[in-house]
Structure 1
């Protein structure tokens, strides 16, 4: 029987890291399913969803632990689905860069028991002025009972206070 597992990865970036991880997964009968891998400030970081025969989990963890000699740290964790119904939405945030934008938005989510599914952010030069421009895309999920108007009002206050634009789109199933 196969089960889903999450691999959490971080280490010094260099060629061959993905191959080493993928080879270890394959050698233990695993299947690479979904991943997000990136280079950040000289480090290689990522998260990978694999399916793996349950009895191979310990062997894979040991094989991946051996990669620590290359400066790579990989953690193998069982994955589970919550099965709780939820509403999903996506947000786009854009505005002049300043400290605290992510903190303010994430605190608003935390206070309302809203889960961040994905957050991608970057600082890019603004058109014409070349000033630093913060942009983010955020995917969230929350209880169907969440008051959408109250959430939108809270985000509007943050947008005004932080001088950013926040747009929210609900994903209707």
Structure 2
């Protein structure tokens, strides 16, 4: 099994972050695995699986100049894992409601109670400051039926949360 790190970088969004960071990692002899990169509220966040032969201190030293230049905070976490271990989601849950504290906790608790394993969660607040609307898309795996999930989530509608549950049909092979 290859030794991997999760490299997290966060900073103000600007062009060239991905190019500069991945160039440094390439020049440091790193292999990139799975990645997630997203803009959140004006900041850009990168999560990368990185493997290489250099010690973590050398990797941090290699990233330091580009991180300083681009105003990025860098964090490395050694992890056990590897490629080709990604689960394929079979259920998608779309949530909308007036933005308020607790929506994510309420929805994800209902899902967890059904044995739903969240693989990806994205959310956004749209509308305007006077009438914000929270939108959340969740993909995951669950052995329960769609009907079971819909019934478990039905109670959220009385709290002003609209939930749509649908299968994800992937063509693999």
TM above 0.5: yes
1:19-168 matches, cutoff 5 A: 19-32=19-32, 34-50=34-50, 52-53=51-52, 55-56=53-54, 58=56, 59-64=58-63, 69=68, 70-78=71-79, 80=81, 88-125=90-127, 131-142=131-142, 144=143, 146=144, 148-158=146-156, 160-168=157-165
Residues 131 and 40 of structure 1: CA distance in aligned 2, closer, same or farther (over 3 Å): same
More strand by share: 1
Gaps of 5+ in 1: none
| 1:153 CA drift (Å) | 0.9
Aligned equivalents of 1:97, 1:162: Cα separation in 2: 12
Aligned equivalents of 1:103, 1:94: Cα separation in 2: 14
Secondary structure in 2 aligned to 1:56? coil
Gaps of 5+ in 2: none
CA contact (8 A) 1:6 1:79 kept: no
Aligned equivalents of 1:64, 1:84: Cα separation in 2: 27
Aligned equivalents of 1:85, 1:67: Cα separation in 2: 33
What is the aligned length? 165
CA contact (8 A) 1:35 1:48 kept: yes
Secondary structure in 1 aligned to 2:137? strand
Residues 15 and 140 of structure 1: CA distance in aligned 2, closer, same or farther (over 3 Å): same
Residues 85 and 5 of structure 1: CA distance in aligned 2, closer, same or farther (over 3 Å): same
